[in-house]
Amino acid sequence: MDLLVKNARVVTSSESFESSIGVEGGKIASVSPILSPSGARVYDAEGKVVIPGGIDAHTHMELPVTGTTSADDFYSGTVAAACGGITTIVDFVDTKRGQSLLGALADYRRRADSKVAVDYGLHMMLKGQNLPEIDRIPEIVQKGVSSFKVYTAYKARGLMLEDADIARVMEKVKGAGGLVAVHAESERIIQRLIEENLAAGRTGARFHALSRPAEAEAEAISRVAELARRASASIYIVHLSSRAGRAEVEKARREGTRIFAETCPHYLILTDDVYGREDGRNYVMSPSLKKAGDRAALWEGLRPDGVIETVGSDHCPFPSAEKDWGEGDFTKIPNGVPGTEAIIPLLYSEGVRKGRISMFDLARVTSGSPAMRFGLAPSKGSLSVGSDADFVIIDPRKQVRMTADVMHSKIDYSIYDHIKTEGYPVLTVSRGEVVMEDGEFVGHRGKGRFIPRRGDPRSKVT
């Protein structure tokens, strides 16, 4: 045995029990109240909680965005992930101009394989330039990339697909047993408001949010849900940010659509008040932050009877000097915020400790559900004998103020520096290796592996 965690309170999506956990060869070797160390390193988890390693199914490491690249590469981003208890990320392959889908996939694999400190999978982004290649989707699924992201917005960046093209993608992805992830915001509503605001000289960060109201999200969800229902395809709404959006997901579910949703830590913690601050630009992401009522609706949606089954970070940070490019024109602010390191600390401290969600919910939305939805189970997302030894130990007594100097992302500010947590991850184990201990990264560059993901057999054409 390599590692023995004793006196653990183990919590998964469905169970909570006192046990010891034995780790050997990167796998969970035994889960039993009495285990003998037999040469293993022993970690005493008395008074602490052990949950399956977090799966952050929404990151953008080293992503080119409007004249720059997101600040974390696959190394620094996965160091941050490990320090927050995340043991698997799923990032998005973005094709460069002229690059084929398979060429872009190979490029991402080459860049990520040598850097990742925890395991990773990949989704494929499908934008306008990729449409001539959608017949390649089954081949890409065969390579372990079984989810495809489309955008209903960002026309100027070449990301937006028309509804008819989204419908074609849904047919192809369904046929290959995959899942369509959707960035759902209405280009029509947003563009009109952006033009009105800029023409009237309303250029500050506040107008980023005022140009992206909740109705823009709700309208796009309603539209793509209808396309999915007609195609009998499975869809996954990324970064749900509003009560109105949640209501559209619920409505589509009632109508029998196979629709799933994710939210992000920033929508659960922050509101659009921050855009009025002097550093409001640092909080610019899309969709934008909404109101306190939206935030409450998202917490409710995470409960077992809710429609939000996962929390992903949409980790895509930029330094404040680059956020400043939007001074005088909010559309020039690079969109995106940090988050992968914050998911588990915030969901534990602001969610579980404040009674908004249970410990089971925490384990489910950060690990069990993303493992199942993205074809990573049973090796990920649980703590059973034979599964990967991916887990995080939380000390409920550890208080951490989440300032820039304690977070590991390569940026100069923290959007959560007003938060002092009640409880924090103190040990992260990734395939049997301790990668974070007491806030310090102790893992290795390039130690993570690419995890090929299966498609969803229930969405396959029979």
Binding residues for ligand URP, per CB under 6 A? Answer: 60, 65, 285-286, 314, 316, 335-336
Judged by CB, which is closer to Zn ion: 119, or 314?
314
Burial of 276 (0-12, 13-18, 19+ CB in 10 A): exposed
Judged by CB, which is closer to ligand URP: 73, or 250?
73
Judged by CB, which is closer to ligand URP: 35, or 316?
316
Inter-residue contact 248 to 177 (CB < 8 Å):
no
- Which of Zn ion, ligand URP, none interacts with 124 (beta carbon under 5 to 8 A by kind)? none
- Which of Zn ion, ligand URP, none interacts with 286 (beta carbon under 5 to 8 A by kind)? ligand URP
- Which of ligand URP, Zn ion, none interacts with 335 (beta carbon under 5 to 8 A by kind)? ligand URP
Pairing mode, strands 424-430 and 391-395: antiparallel
User: Minimum distance from CB of 294 to ligand URP (Å)?
Assistant: 16
Inter-residue contact 134 to 167 (CB < 8 Å):
no
User: Minimum distance from CB of 445 to ligand URP (Å)?
Assistant: 24
User: Minimum distance from CB of 100 to ligand URP (Å)?
Assistant: 21
Residue nearest to Zn ion (CB): 314
Judged by CB, which is closer to Zn ion: 8, or 284?
284
- Which of Zn ion, ligand URP, none interacts with 375 (beta carbon under 5 to 8 A by kind)? none
Judged by CB, which is closer to ligand URP: 27, or 60?
60
The first and second tokens of residue 390, run together, are 């991916």
Judged by CB, which is closer to ligand URP: 245, or 443?
245
Q: Which of residues 286-325 bind Zn ion (CB under 5 A)?
A: 314
Cis? peptide before 287, omega within 30° of 0: yes
Inter-residue contact 51 to 391 (CB < 8 Å):
yes
* 350 touching Zn ion, by CB under 5 A: no
Sequential DSSP letters for 118-166: SEEEEEEE--GGGGGGGGGHHHHHHTT--EEEEESS-TTTT-B--HHHH
- Which of ligand URP, Zn ion, none interacts with 65 (beta carbon under 5 to 8 A by kind)? ligand URP
Which residue is it, tokens 């409960």? 303
Residue 449: phi and psi, rounded to 5, are: -125, 155
The first and second tokens of residue 80, run together, are 């941050």
- Expressed in angstroms, the distance from the first to the final Cα of the chain is 45
- Which of ligand URP, Zn ion, none interacts with 285 (beta carbon under 5 to 8 A by kind)? ligand URP
Binding site for Zn ion (CB under 5 A): 314
